[in-house]
Structure 1
Amino acid sequence: MVGMRDVAKEAGVSVSTVSLVVNNTGYVSDDMRSKVEAAMRELHYIPNELARNLYRNRTNTIGVIVPTIIHPFFAAFTAHLQREFAGRGLKTLLCSTADAATGESEYVNMLQRHMMDGIIMAAHTEHQPDYWSSIHRPIVAFDRNLGHGVPAVRSDHEAGGRMIARQLIDSGAKHVVLVGGPRSQFKQGTTFPTVRYHLTVEQMLADAGIACDYVEAGSVTDVVAHEATAAAIFERYPDVDAIVGSDVVAAVALQEAERRGIAVPNELQIIAYDGTLAAELAGKRLTVVRQDFSAIAAALAEQMDRQIAASDEAADGKTAQSADAAGSADTADANEAEAVIPVAFVAGETTR
């Protein structure tokens, strides 16, 4: 097996110079670098990735924590995120908290033991904000608030709510049913930014004098409950003329309406929120508020890059500020580092 010593001998340089080139650390003249790279090609030298990562104190692995991958939203989310990280030379380690008895704790322990470079936290947590800020390792939140010092990425849910409400108001809706997670998520200080679209719709419809009811469909991990809730709406609210919910809820509502002979969109409008494959397979082209999964994944990766860079600087002792800001840094601007991704209203065949 070809090693660094062989490359050094072939290039006529020291082993330390080969190490600097392989690990991309320190200064190496262009001439020396060219000699080393030519020797590597000549000898078909493949760097030992494990050894290189140990040298750099990196694993090139990012943990991604989601509540479940059964739900179409998180299936699409993880697919785009994995693709984005792969394009940056990073691997992903997926944890579905619904299928893991230890929840996120095991992954946080792995992060603290430097078995991962960072965590994307996209699941509900019972931990208090000071727990996350005390980890001092790279963490980025998705669609939730983990407290001061933990940067976050979310979609512009308020804009999504305005788009939905405007469509319903302009089309003459009279009784709207919103379907979502437990209403307890709406309490003040909630960590779930997604409730903002429900609250925005409710406020705008109330201002317009349009009746609006909210139906709980269980947690995001219980897709079956979402389906059952969507089917039961018609019994509970026989005068409903608009239903708004996730792609799963919207698709089931459409199928139930057609089974009951209710004309969509003339008698009943249906609006989906997310824009996953489930919306495309509903039977009709659903009107959706589409979240931009590619932009979300890119924003999360950018935030993670910044967190890892801050952690590396702190480890190297380059700046005093970074030493206090390692990972999920408690810096003045870290708490303001919330990237808000635009959503799009895509008219389909289920609205007037």
Structure 2
Amino acid sequence: MVGMRDVAKKAGVSLSTVSLVVNGTGYVSDDMRSKVQAAMKSLDYIPNELARNLAHNRTNMIGVIVPTIRHPFFATLTAALQREFSARGLRTMLCSTADSDKGEADYVDMLQRHMMDGIVMAAHTAHPSGYWTSIGRPVVAFDRYLGPGIPSIGSDHEQGGRLVARTLIDAGAHHVVMVGGPRSQFHDLDSGAVFRSGDLAEAGVTTFPTIRYYLTLEHELNEAGIAYDYVEAGEVADFQGYSDTMHDVFERFDDVDAVVSSDIGASQCVQEILRRGLRPGADVQVVAYDGTYLADTAGVRLTAVCQDFDALAAAVASRMNALIEGEESSSSTTDLNPPVSGGAGDAFPDGDGRLPGSAAELIPLTLRKAESTR
């Protein structure tokens, strides 16, 4: 096996000179560099990437933690992140917490032992904020709040809620049912918090910035005098739960004329509507939230609020790169726990209000109108 000593002998230079060329550290004259590179090519020498990374105190590996890759949102996000990191010379190591015995603690341990350069945290965590802020290594939160000083990237879910509200209000909806995850996640860092018809006065800190779209939608519907209900469908990986819940929605509410849910829930809703001999879009309007490939495979093309996965991935990668390169420290990141003053009327009308746990960098969403709404 060819090693650096062989390259040094072939090029007629010292071993240290070969090391400098291979690792890209220190000054080497153009003449010396050419000799070393010619010798490497002649000998078919392949640098030991692990050794080179250790010399730079880098692994070029980013851990990406998601709840499950079975969910179309996280599958699409993971693909976008992998493309973006790859373009920056970084590889990704995926941890799907619902599909594996390993959890975020294993990845944090790897990060602290310098086996990874950083972690993108896109799954729910039961660890307190102090756990994440004490790591002292690059961590970027995606669509969650991990604690003061931990940078967070996410979609502008308040804008998303407004897009859904305007679509349904303009289309003359009378009773809207929102189907999502456990309502307890709306105040998972403060068990005493209460959300009353979109009123944020008693809202506790949450790790889920996505609640902004539900609360904004509730507030807008309330202002327009439109009836609404929120129905829980189980955890993010519980796909059967969405099917069962959509059946229950139509058994429970005989006047429902609009349903809002994730792409999975919206697709299941269309199937339930068709089973009942109703017409999607005409009898019951359906709005999907995410805009993944699943929104095109429901039987009818779904009206969807679409998240910009490429822009989200680029923002995450850019922030991670800045942390790794030392261009940004945890002390320079935005505190994601601003106070909330008054109720929903103060927080939502002009878009300037912020919920606790809102992302530091927000990416706009777009609305795609299709067959499932009027």
What TM-score, normalized to structure 1?
0.91
| Residue 286 of structure 1 pairs with residue 302 of structure 2 | yes
Aligned counterpart for 2:312 among listed residues 254, 273, 296 = 296
Deviations 1:60-94 (A, max 9, x none): 21111111112111111112212222222222221
Change (3 A) 1:261 1:191: same
- TM-aligned CA deviation for residue 272 of structure 1: 0.2
Deviations 1:182-209 (A, max 9, x none): 1112222111011100111100010010
Matching residue's letter, 2:369:
A
Structure with greater helix percent: 1
Alignment-derived partner of residue 202 in structure 1: 218
Range with greater deviation from structure 2 (153-162 or 291-300):
291-300
Contact 2:151 2:333 in 1 (8 A): no
Matching residue's letter, 2:63:
G
Secondary structure of the 1:99 match is coil
Q: C-alpha separation between the residues in 1 aligned to 2:47 and 2:250?
A: 63
Matched ranges for 1:46-125 at <5 A: 46-125=46-125
Aligned counterpart for 2:273 among listed residues 240, 248, 257 = 257
Secondary structure of the 1:83 match is helix
Q: C-alpha separation between the residues in 1 aligned to 2:94 and 2:81?
A: 11
Q: C-alpha separation between the residues in 1 aligned to 2:30 and 2:216?
A: 58
Matching residue's letter, 2:266:
A
Alignment-derived partner of residue 317 in structure 1: none
Contact 2:301 2:371 in 1 (8 A): yes
Aligned counterpart for 1:341 among listed residues 360, 363, 366 = 363
- TM-aligned CA deviation for residue 54 of structure 1: 2.1
Matching residue's letter, 2:28:
V
- TM-aligned CA deviation for residue 126 of structure 1: 1.2
- TM-aligned CA deviation for residue 102 of structure 1: 4.8
What TM-score, normalized to structure 2?
0.85
Range with greater deviation from structure 2 (118-127 or 16-25):
16-25
Alignment-derived partner of residue 372 in structure 2: 350
**Structure 2 stretches lacking a partner, 5+ long:** 188-203, 337-358
Alignment-derived partner of residue 191 in structure 2: none
Q: C-alpha separation between the residues in 2 aligned to 1:171 and 1:278?
A: 24
Contact 1:66 1:123 in 2 (8 A): yes
- TM-aligned CA deviation for residue 332 of structure 1: 3.2
Change (3 A) 1:193 1:109: same
Deviations 1:197-226 (A, max 9, x none): 011110001001011111111111212112
Secondary structure of the 2:287 match is strand
Contact 2:243 2:268 in 1 (8 A): yes
- Count of aligned residue pairs for this structure pair: 336
Aligned counterpart for 1:272 among listed residues 269, 284, 288 = 288
Alignment-derived partner of residue 180 in structure 2: 180
- TM-aligned CA deviation for residue 334 of structure 1: 5.3
Q: C-alpha separation between the residues in 2 aligned to 1:20 and 1:159?
A: 51
Matched ranges for 1:122-201 at <5 A: 122-187=122-187, 188-201=204-217
Q: C-alpha separation between the residues in 2 aligned to 1:339 and 1:43?
A: 49
**Structure 1 stretches lacking a partner, 5+ long:** 314-321
Q: C-alpha separation between the residues in 2 aligned to 1:244 and 1:341?
A: 21
| Residue 31 of structure 1 pairs with residue 47 of structure 2 | no
Alignment-derived partner of residue 3 in structure 2: 3
Contact 2:154 2:363 in 1 (8 A): yes
Q: C-alpha separation between the residues in 1 aligned to 2:175 and 2:265?
A: 17
Contact 1:117 1:138 in 2 (8 A): yes
Contact 1:176 1:240 in 2 (8 A): yes
Alignment-derived partner of residue 194 in structure 2: none
Alignment-derived partner of residue 21 in structure 1: 21
| Residue 306 of structure 1 pairs with residue 326 of structure 2 | no
Contact 1:67 1:221 in 2 (8 A): yes
Q: C-alpha separation between the residues in 2 aligned to 1:50 and 1:277?
A: 38
Contact 1:70 1:223 in 2 (8 A): no
Range with greater deviation from structure 2 (216-225 or 337-346):
337-346
Secondary structure of the 2:13 match is coil
Matching residue's letter, 1:342:
P
Secondary structure of the 1:345 match is strand
Secondary structure of the 1:98 match is coil
Matching residue's letter, 1:341:
I
> What is the root-mean-square deviation of aligned Cα atoms in Å?
1.8
Deviations 1:248-300 (A, max 9, x none): 11011111111111122111110000111211111111110111111111111
Matching residue's letter, 2:30:
D
Over the matched positions of the two proteins, sequence identity in percent amounts to: 63
Matching residue's letter, 1:199:
L
- TM-aligned CA deviation for residue 6 of structure 1: 2.6
